[in-house]
Homo-oligomer: A and B are copies of this chain.
Amino acid sequence: MDSSAPARHGRLDLERLRRNCARCSLHRLCEPAGIGASELERLDHVVRRRRPVARGERLFHAGDPLGALFVGREGAFKTVLVSEDGEEQVLGFHLPGELIGLDALGSGQHRCEAVALTDASVCEVPYERLTSIAMQLPELQHQLLRIIGQRLEREQDHIGMLVRRQAGERIALFLHGLSRRVAQAGGSATSLVLPMSRDDIGHFLGLALETVSRGFSRLQDEGVIQVSGRRVEILDADELERMANRETDTPRLQARGSA
């Protein structure tokens, strides 16, 4: 496959566009919807591709007007809600391929800020243009609604993580979910390098950073994971998932081997 053919029209052009979208992880937005050539071309003209973002840089701040949605391409982000007393609440982490900026849909202004946890790059889609194109493409409209709906599901899962689950459960749930998402983004499901600090994880899970650290250590003692700073190896994914669903029951009934 040639990588540089500058064909202007025909299949070659479409191929180039599709390739770009697939690389840029925008495929979640347009590819599964079966969008045709002309539509892709329009999207392509609208999307600002592969904008680099330095670690610590913000895609937007709280209060910024909704200008564009972002799709992570490389690196990782967190979205943070800062309360008036300076307390940070981490709303989510965002891996390549995931949409950032939906928090402004309700009011037209961002209510949280998106911070790059590592050096990163994003694709940028002007919101107004996206919606106006969606007006004419049923597939794109449905896809957009579906993606927003999936974000709703994620928020609900986040709530489920926080409600009446104890620390070990939340941490297992977090690692398990992160592993799946890293795999979906093209990484290894068992060998992770966490882009976020223990403090960030704590502010996401509603736990003190020390509790997160202790939880990691405990999982390591039990042989489920191996931790070295931000490097995490998942040794027993099944057990991890089991702990994620209820840690409190059968702590000694089915105990095998050492206590």
Chain A interface residues toward B at CB < 8 A: 81, 83-85, 87, 89, 91, 102-108, 111-112, 131-132, 134-136, 138, 141-142, 145-153, 155-156, 158-160, 162-164, 203, 205-207, 245-246
Are B149 and A152 within 8 A (Cβ)? no
Q: A105-B146, A146-B106 are in contact. Are A203 and B89 (CB under 8 A)?
A: no
Are A89 and B159 within 8 A (Cβ)? yes
Copies in the complex: 2
Are B106 and A159 within 8 A (Cβ)? no
- A111: chain B residues at CB < 8 Å are 153, 156
Are B162 and A163 within 8 A (Cβ)? yes
- A142: chain B residues at CB < 8 Å are 131
Q: A141-B131, A149-B107, A150-B106 are in contact. Are A159 and B162 (CB under 8 A)?
A: yes
> Please, how many angstroms separate the alpha-carbon atoms of A112 and B160 in the complex?
12
Are B152 and A246 within 8 A (Cβ)? no
Are B162 and A206 within 8 A (Cβ)? yes
